[in-house]
């Protein structure tokens, strides 16, 4: 684990927000696949900062360079490495973070963990910018999955107490996946979206921030992926989802809401068997996973993001050199809400995780 994730398909991520470059290495991809890099670029752009009013004003183009792993337009099967050069750093804004830690950031914990030697500029290796390599890897992974008609989509489910329409748990309607992904503000219901945008703008004006949740789904997953106990698909998917900065909760199916149901309400009863002997259920409270193994029903999950920790309001902190209390005003460019840009990150993590799990059961040759 550490900065390397996966069993059969591994992702190694490197870089700091204001260092030379960030990037990643994807190891174990099936050989011979065509990757549509325009589509990769589309996914990268969904996450990129500086595009909208509610996102940070940092203008990173997130242009990547492939370093290895593609040959004659196809994956080689050997490690696919890529880098994204950092360009628009304004490091001076961050100089004191290793002395006066920002509340709810990793400044203090990173300082302890790395004995003060971590690159603290812009959050360094802890920066949300490190989700760019994850989105890149996920964009590759979802193209592999698509060769078997496995599709992934997500949307903002809530911002503060405002809610979007939910996916239909039985049939999340894959046309929605693309429609929502193409929107600047990825919600199903644009009216709800307008209210959310107003809420974010209001927080921004108050020098404050808001949080929210992302709902995401995968359809077309074959039954039988995952294993009981420690290799539960929920275990591996939660593991990579909690790697995304600001995530404080992950749930599958009805999640915490299932705790208020009775068994007779929560159980997904079987109602049909198809030609391939797959069973379907008339409800999907379990989110497509039973005993850690996919059932063939849509995978459904929710991820909770805390409000952006960086706010311009004065906050209480401590000068770690002197031990004295001090007021801190976080400078720099920050999203008042990171949830809109988090949607493609969640999808990417899910794609990479599922690809790894499928490869463990089906082997590399499943894709060829």
Interhelix angle for 131-146 vs 339-362, to 10°? Answer: 50
Per-residue binding letters, 172-211, with a second copy (x by CB under 8 A): -------------------------------x--x-xxxx
**Closer by beta carbon to a second copy, 245 or else 344:** 245
Phi, psi of 138 (to 5 degrees): -65, -35
Q: Is 127 annotated as a binding residue?
A: yes
Question: What is the closest distance, in whole angstroms, from the C-beta atom of residue 21 to a second copy in the complex?
Answer: 4
Contacts of 60 (CB under 8 A, 6+ apart): 48, 49, 50, 84, 86, 87, 88, 129, 132
Q: Is 249 in the site for a second copy (CB under 8 A)?
A: yes
Smallest distance from the beta carbon of 310 to a second copy, in angstroms? 8
Options 36-44, 60-68, 172-180, 185-193: segment touching a second copy (CB under 8 A): 60-68
Q: How many residues does the chain have?
A: 368
Among residues 139 and 297, whose Cβ is nearest to a second copy? Answer: 297
Across-strand partners of 289? 294
Closest CA to 105 of 209, 20, 237, 1: 209
Q: Using DSSP, state whether 191 is helix, strand or coil.
A: helix
The smaller minimum CB distance to a second copy, of residues 151 and 213, is found at 213
Query: Nearer to a second copy by C-beta: 182 or 291?
Result: 291
Using the rule CB under 8 A, is 87 a contact of a second copy? no
Does the footprint of a second copy cover residue 298 (CB under 8 A)?
no
- Count other Cβ atoms within 10 Å, centred on residue 327: 9
Q: Binding of a second copy at residue 268 (CB under 8 A)? A: yes
User: Under 8 Å CB-to-CB from 119, ≥6 apart: which residues?
Assistant: 16, 17, 18, 19, 125
Interface with a second copy (CB under 8 A), residue total 158
Is residue 294 a contact residue for a second copy (CB under 8 A)? yes
Rg from Cα positions in the chain: 21
Indicate the SS3 state at residue 64. Answer: strand
Contact 203, 337 (CB under 8 A): yes
267 lies in the site for a second copy, by CB under 8 A: yes
Residues forming beta bridges with residue 316, ordered by sequence position: 327
Which of 59, 90, 92, 313 touches a second copy by CB under 8 A? Answer: 313
In three-state form (DSSP H/G/I as H, E/B as E, the rest C), the secondary structure along 154-192 is: EEEEEECCEECCCCCCCCCCHHHHHHHHHCCCCCCCHHH
Rounded CA-CA distance 186/174 in Å is 14
Q: Are 243 and 6 in contact (CB under 8 A)?
A: no
- Segment 12 to 51, residues that bind a second copy, using CB under 8 A: 12-16, 19-23, 25, 27-28, 31-32
Residue 47 assigned ligand-binding role: yes
Is residue 352 a contact partner of residue 134, using CB atoms and an 8 Å limit? Answer: yes
Question: Considering the rule CB under 8 A, would residue 147 count as an interface residue with a second copy?
Answer: no
Pick from 39, 166, 320, 333 the residue near a second copy by CB under 8 A.
320
CB of 30 to a second copy, least distance (A): 9
Q: Residue 253, interface with a second copy (CB under 8 A)? A: yes
Q: Which of 39, 179, 201, 231 binds a second copy (CB under 8 A)?
A: 231
Nearest-approach distance from CB 175 to a second copy, in angstroms: 27
56 binds a second copy (CB under 8 A): no
Q: Please report which helix (H) or strand (E) contains residue 263, including its range.
A: helix 263-266
**Residues of this chain, 93-122, that bind a second copy according to CB under 8 A:** 101, 103-106, 108-110, 112-119, 121
Task: Please check if 157 is assigned to a binding site.
Answer: no
In the block, residue with structure tokens 């760019």: 132
Binding-site residues for FMN, please?
125-127, 291, 306-310, 333
| Binding-site sequence positions for NADP(+) | 47
Which residues are known binding-site members? 47, 125-127, 291, 306-310, 333
């Amino acid at each position: 684990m550490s900065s390397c994730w996966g069993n059969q398909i591994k992702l190694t991520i490197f870089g700091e927000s204001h260092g030379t470059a960030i990037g990643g290495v994807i190891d174990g991809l099936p050989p011979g696949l065509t990757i549509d890099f325009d589509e990769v670029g589309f996914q990268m752009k969904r996450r990129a900062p500086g595009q909208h009013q509610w996102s940070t004003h940092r203008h990173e183009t997130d242009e990547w360079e492939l370093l290895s792993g593609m040959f004659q337009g196809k994956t080689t099967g050997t490690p696919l490495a890529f880098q994204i050069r950092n360009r628009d750093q304004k490091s001076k804004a961050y100089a004191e973070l290793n002395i006066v830690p920002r509340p709810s950031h990793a400044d203090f914990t990173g300082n302890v963990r790395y004995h003060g030697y971590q690159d603290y500029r812009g959050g360094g290796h802890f920066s949300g910018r490190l989700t760019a390599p994850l989105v890149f890897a996920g964009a590759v992974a979802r193209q592999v999955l698509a060769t078997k008609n496995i599709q992934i989509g997500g949307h903002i489910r809530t911002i503060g107490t405002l809610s979007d329409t939910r996916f239909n748990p039985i049939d999340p309607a894959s046309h929605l996946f693309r429609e929502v992904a193409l929107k600047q503000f990825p919600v199903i219901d644009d009216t709800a979206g307008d209210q959310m945008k107003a809420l974010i703008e209001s927080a921004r004006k108050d020098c404050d921030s808001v949080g929210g949740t992302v709902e995401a789904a995968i359809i077309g997953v074959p039954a039988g992926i995952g294993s009981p106990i420690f290799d539960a698909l929920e275990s591996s998917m939660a593991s990579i989802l909690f790697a995304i900065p600001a995530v404080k909760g992950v749930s599958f199916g009805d999640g915490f809401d299932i705790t208020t149901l009775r068994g007779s309400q929560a159980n997904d009863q079987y109602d049909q068997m198809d030609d391939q002997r797959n069973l379907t259920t008339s409800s999907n409270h379990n989110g497509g996973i039973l005993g850690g193994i996919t059932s063939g029903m849509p995978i459904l999950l929710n991820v909770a993001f805390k409000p952006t920790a960086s706010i311009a309001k004065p906050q209480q902190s401590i000068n770690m050199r002197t031990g004295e209390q001090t007021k801190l005003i976080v400078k720099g460019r920050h999203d008042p809400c990171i949830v809109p840009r988090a949607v493609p990150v969640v999808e990417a993590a899910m794609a990479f995780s599922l690809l790894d799990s499928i490869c463990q059961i089906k082997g590399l040759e499943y894709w060829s």
